[in-house]
Amino acid sequence: MITTEGYLYFVDRALDGMAAVLIGLGDERANRSPDLPGGNSPYAIVTHCLGVVSFWGGHVVAGRAVPRDRAAEFTASGPVDELVARLRLVREQFAADVAAAVPADPCRGEVPPKYRGTPIGESQGMALQHIYEELAQHRGHLELTRDLLADRG
């Protein structure tokens, strides 16, 4: 079974990688979308990931009320340094949520309807696995987006 420290190691690698991409792009490119239908800016991708971590970790796993405007995550923009600072705060809270989790227990907060009746909604541990799934997926998405933006000059 994976330990809290082991799990957070992988989450931190994903979040550190995202922060590095944002910093490397700078404000202008981080807020630019690739020339693709429905393409999201790096800033929006990371904002969405922080929404995932905050909602799923804070609400679904820990049981706190966590307001979320998922649609607004995909239109978010702003200074990279502010988003990286927010990333660090979200990561600190998430570490506390993971430390307090009981992986085999049911989720403490309401599982979104789309995930009820799936393994993701069965337990705190499965919800935590879903968070990592999203971070890994979107880190790759972010790196491809970075590469597309670099090609545009």
Is there a contact between 120 and 130 (Cβ–Cβ < 8 Å)? yes
User: Phi/psi of residue 116, each to 5°?
Assistant: -65, 140
Structural domain count, the chain: 1
pLDDT > 90? residue 150: no
Domain that holds residue 132: 4-152
pTM comes to 0.96
Number of neighbouring beta carbons within 10 Å of residue 85: 12
Count of residues making up the chain = 153
Q: Give the pLDDT mean for 24-44.
A: 96
Name the more confident of 15 and 1.
15
- Residue 71 sits in a domain whose CATH number is 1.20.120.450
Percent of the chain with pLDDT over 70: 98
Q: Look at residue 26 in the predicted model and tell me its pLDDT.
A: 97
Q: Give me the mean pLDDT over the 93-98 stretch.
A: 98
The helix (run of H) or strand (run of E) holding residue 66 is none
Rounded to whole angstroms, what are the CA distances from 65 to 60, 68, 96, 109? 9, 10, 16, 8
Cite the beta strand spans of the chain per DSSP E.
none
pLDDT of residue 1: 75
Q: Measured between alpha carbons, how far is 86 from 100 in angstroms, rounded to an integer?
A: 21
